[in-house]
Chain A
């Protein structure tokens, strides 16, 4: 059977351009163009890639490298332990121990309530409050739970089934005061962030604090630490150890005597200072009420004040020897002069001055021994106001002593233009002037050491520990020495002339020794030592009536020994004794001051200078064998 050809098929077969010789050239051209387009496209892509590479590697290289580095590395701050505070014999007054603080990463926690419940039970925290905190800060990656855990708490937390990666410990330092309340006001304390508050902790904060270190950690994409970076490793620089002038033994004597005063007289406050008059070094300083620096949360605002430097009072009779020194030094008063104190009363303008008893004529020594106000007003009257002001100022009153303790007050000495017609007499009796106990003992030191006022010294030395070792074991001596040079700035001593040597020696060896031998300070007599001293009993100003109170007093006693070569000075000030009885400084403060003086002299191995009196009393007491 013959199949008829499809319509047009012969035409297709015959007339197909592909089979024709004319079509071969156009195919090649088309292929060539296609290849050209592919090559052009590839070239374009290549060029674009090259351009992008150039952009990334050349123009944006620095920024991108920094960004990548930031994502990859993490800088961990290594806290520096604060330096220690030591007493003059190396006993530790304040030191630092490392503890762990617990934190959580709320983002990694799924069951907040169970975590809050478990941690609440273990760490004695309020689980509801903890749950609220976790819920509120769910988006955060770091949340403190409890800082400075005890080792027992830390061990208990480690045993909890907390999800991995959602919690951790960080090292923190805790300041501890191994001597307890001893010298609490002088030392101050450190708050939870390690910042010094009060006392030497605050005034020497820069030196004590040290310098935090840092290390760079390399993290993976999930934030886990995989390595330590080689660069950027700075070891923490421990704070400087500061040796104070305090003697923990003497400080303990002082604290015990103040506790006895508080128990017996229930005063509003009290303070005591022991000083070496030759060097100005403070051997002990204490204030009541006091606090335990190991329990900073218990410190209320009313017991924070260091009364030895931050409390001002009218000194009363303890001020009188300085006025006498001014008159003697200027030749306005002779040591053998007699002062007419009359019948115990003297009218001064509209004011009536009183003495305890009618004394008649008194020698200069007896004016101080009997603490005659009338006699002192007459001695003061021999000085012009300018001379009296200069005398008072030369003994360091009216300005801060420069002890460097935080909160030190400058006292109050009004300028002469503000004085009234009674001011000369008032100042001669220790009124119309406000002093701090530290100013008072420094002024007395000037008399005891032969007339030189020396600023009080609380810091004996400061030294960095050369124990800074980097992660690679090398001692970073350069860093240590640089910090040692720049940080430790000890207050320098200020020395000025207060009065002449002869006047100072005479006042100490004659009137002030007689005060203890037969005057108002007989309770301060010590077997074996010639004690000099001066009592002070000052009425306090009643803020309501603006007159001197008849019920509120400040009793003080300032003493030292041996009179021939004073080595120790003691000041005890008692503010507003509450119990009925005596309010005199000779009764309130003198026995405590004498006991502190006796114990300190024995502790410092200062030989008795009055052998005859020592023979009369064979036993010195418990410390006699020291």
Chain B
């Protein structure tokens, strides 16, 4: 009788622990999803801000004077990996940039 009672008690406890574990995992997953959603929102907001900034900087009205009165000034590529590599950077598109190399 004691064995049966003990077995039932252990079974009930095991089921409870399993339920608690599943519940905790569910909550953890839920937290993770919400966190990802929040990150996505932050990234979306950042994307919108950067997009706005890009459009402001690239607005035709802003570029016209420079384009009509000569080539826009361009900062030379100063990334350390490209120095002395003998290979033109992908961004150094203007001919003559690496003419002396």
Contacts and interface: CB of A to CB of B under 8 A. Distances in A.
Nearest to A181: B61
B55 A91 contact: yes
Contacts of B68: 622-623
Interface in B31-58: 33-34, 36-37, 40, 45, 48-49, 51-52, 55-56, 58
> SS class of chain B's interface: helix, strand, loop or mixed?
helix
A621 B56 CA distance: 27
A472 B26 CA distance: 12
Interface size on B, as a range, is 10 to 19
Interface in B54-93: 55-56, 58-61, 64, 67-68
A423 interface: no
A-side interface size class = 20 to 34
A162 to B, nearest CB: 23
A248 B33 CA distance: 41
In this complex, the member of A97, A249, A255, A469 whose beta carbon has the largest number of chain B beta carbons within 10 angstroms is A97
A158 to B, nearest CB: 16
A613 interface: no
Interface core residue of A92, A180, A622, A623 (most chain B CB under 10 Å): A92
B34 A248 contact: no
Contacts of B60: 91, 179, 182, 248-249, 252
A178 interface: yes
A98 B58 CA distance: 21
Interface in A222-255: 228, 248-249, 252, 255
Interface in A151-186: 176, 178-180, 182
Nearest to A252: B60
Most buried by A among B48, B52, B55: B55
A385 interface: no
Contacts of B51: 92, 95
Given A179-B59, A179-B60, A255-B61, A472 B33 contact: yes
B34 A95 contact: no
- Residue from A98, A178, A622 having most chain B Cβ neighbours under 10 A: A178
Contacts of B61: 179-180, 182, 252, 255
B52 A471 contact: no
Interface string A469-485: 10111000000000000
A473 B40 CA distance: 11
A469 B55 contact: no
B40 A469 contact: yes
A249 B67 CA distance: 13
Select the residue from B34, B45, B59, B68 with max chain A CB neighbours within 10 A. Answer: B59
Contacts of B33: 471-473
A95 B50 CA distance: 11
A96 interface: yes
Given A179-B59, A469-B37, 18 more contacts: A91-B55, A92-B55, A95-B51, A95-B55, A96-B48, A97-B48, A97-B49, A97-B52, A98-B48, A176-B52, A178-B55, A178-B59, A179-B60, A180-B61, A252-B61, A471-B33, A472-B33, A473-B33
